[in-house]
Amino acid sequence: MISIKKLIFIAFLSLLTFPLFCQNQLVNPERQWSVYRGPNSSGYLDNANLPETWDVKNSINIKWKIDVPGLALSSPVIWGDNLFLTTAISSGDTIGIRTGVYGDGEPVKDDSEHDYKVYCFNRNTGKLIWERNAYTGVPEVKRHPKSTHANCTPVTDGKYVVAFFGSEGLYCYDIDGNLIWEKDFGKLDAGAFNAEWAEWEFASSPIIHKGVVIVQCDVRGDSFLAAFEAETGKEIWKKIRDGMIYFRTQNQLIAIGK
């Protein structure tokens, strides 16, 4: 097996010096990079005191860098001094991620067993705080060459950390890495709706709002929105999405729906 290494080096995250309102070891929730694209999913944070330039090769404005095994397109999230990250480690995938412009969307033929991991690092030093194996098994859905089996960015509210691996499940840990609950939604195939052969994996990141975990699953089959209590995993509501799906071919507009 070739271990595909992912570098956590981005100054954008590792050099963050969030102005923390420290009182009784509490941090200001509005200053945390706790979800995909950060506060309000906006992609930016004012007054973050970041360097304007950096050079990974020459370690200029790089605080630390470490190797992480596996393949993942998920982003790191941060709460206080904790940085959380996911990855999927294959026992047989030697393809890696293929970049560039090309017309071939054939899924990667890899039926090997994968370990779906959740990591917690110290954001100041890169030291591993804890590592959890959420699931081990052969992926239910194959991936696109530009995709991975760990596309969903985790989310945290400072008390819970939620990681979503699509068909391989939704997992909720406490901040110390103890598994609180998990959910299995079955096969979540988010491939092309006009080509059954096109398996591209899943990439919708969860959110936490006022103690509620919300997931959006637009897939081939029954798409749905669902909300769960972060503390217990109890389902609050689930809504099947019956809307139309539109796509365009070279000379046609096609709508799919019931």
Residue 237 lies in a domain: no
The DSSP bridge partners found for residue 247 are 254
Q: How many domains does the chain have?
A: 1
Distance of CA 76 to the CA centre of its chain: 8
Residue 188 lies in a domain: yes
* Euclidean distance between the first and the last CA atom of the chain, given in angstroms as a whole number: 44
pLDDT per position as a tens digit, 47-58: 888 888 999 889
pLDDT per position as a tens digit, 104-139: 778 998 999 999 999 999 999 999 999 999 999 999
Parent domain of 159: 6-205
Residue 92 lies in a domain: yes
Q: CA-CA distance, 70 to 152, in Å (whole number)?
A: 14
C-beta of residue 54 within 8 angstroms of C-beta of residue 11 = yes
Tell me the average pLDDT across 204-233.
95
Residue 244 lies in a domain: no
| Lowest-confidence pick of 17-21, 199-203, 234-238 | 17-21
pTM of the model: 0.85
For the beta carbon of residue 138, count every other beta carbon within 10 angstroms: 13
The mean pLDDT value of the chain amounts to: 86
> 23: Cβ–Cβ under 8 A, 6 or more apart, which residues?
none
CA proximity to 83, closest of 15, 25, 20: 15
Residue 230 lies in a domain: no
Q: Which CATH number is 123's domain given?
A: 2.40.10.480
Residue 93 lies in a domain: yes
